[in-house]
Amino acid sequence: MSRKVSVRKSVFAADEQYAFKIREMFKDKGILMLNIIGSPGAGKTTLLEATLKSLPFKAAVIEGDVATSRDAERISKTGTPVIQINTQGGCHLEAHLVWKALQDLPMEELDIIFVENVGNLVCPAEFDLGEDYKVAVCSVPEGPDKPLKYPHLFFRAGVVLLTKVDFLEHFNFDKELFWGDVKKLNPHAAQLEVASPVGKGMDAWFEILEKWLVEKRR
């Protein structure tokens, strides 16, 4: 039993080294890296598609999924460099996988790297990928109670995006409850409401990206 625990610890420690290496490399290069986390279907890839279509910065994407290259194919249609990681059953990305994927990106030309984590509200929040910020994505149809039920992600997020706000009236969604709970968990996280397919909330999202990029390069 004690042996099992120590093996797990050393695996964690090895992965932390990769997160450290990624953070150091991007500090030098002035590249902003974001770790996008939310349930399957929350709207992460749709947000990225809409973002990449009008983003005034050079971006690349790393897609994490258990299987298939479907999200990478969607991103590729925007003309953005993208690498797909398949975790073969793993329910979150780890830094060593991201490190390997980064070797295939044209890093000298980039301003921002978006990493779409495996769809999951739980463990992706626990694994440092070397990112500057975690982006929590939660959609209206999931219901307003998710922040308190899955607090770790919201606790650590630099921004919380409520997606699919074009559905608000159909889902009897209590926005005050949702944002009140987010604020209790994390008073510093920026709060955004978006419906990315129709462009709602995208200007505020771009302002945050620009602010973070300027801060990173200061």
Q: Which of 46, 80, 84, 186 binds ligand GDP (CB under 6 A)?
A: 46
Is residue 190 within 8 Å of 208, Cβ to Cβ? yes
Name the DSSP class of 195.
B
Q: How far is the CB of 162 from Zn ion (least distance, A)?
A: 24
Q: Which of residues 14-53 bind Mg ion (CB under 5 A)?
A: 44-45
Q: Which of 19, 26, 33, 45 binds ligand GDP (CB under 6 A)?
A: 45
Q: How far is the CB of 63 from Mg ion (least distance, A)?
A: 7
Region of residue 56 (left: phi > 0; alpha: psi -120 to 50; beta: else): alpha
Q: Which of residues 15-74 bind Zn ion (CB under 5 A)?
A: none
Cα 125 to Cα 106: distance, rounded to the nearest angstrom: 27
Cα 3 to Cα 82: distance, rounded to the nearest angstrom: 39
Q: Which of residues 20-39 bind ligand GDP (CB under 6 A)?
A: 38
CA atoms within 13 A on the CB side of 101: 24
Q: Which of residues 156-195 bind ligand GDP (CB under 6 A)?
A: 163-164, 166-167, 195
Residue ranges of alpha helices (H) inside 55-192 are 70-76, 95-102, 146-149, 151-156, 175-185
41 — phi, psi (to 5°)?
A: 85, 0
- If the CB atoms of residues 162 and 185 are measured against Mg ion, the closer one turns out to be 162
Q: How far is the CB of 188 from Mg ion (least distance, A)?
A: 27
Judged by the rule CB under 5 A, the positions of this chain that interact with Mg ion are 44-45, 71
Judged by the rule CB under 5 A, the positions of this chain that interact with Zn ion are 91-92, 123
Judged by the rule CB under 6 A, the positions of this chain that interact with ligand GDP are 38, 40-46, 119, 163-164, 166-167, 195-197
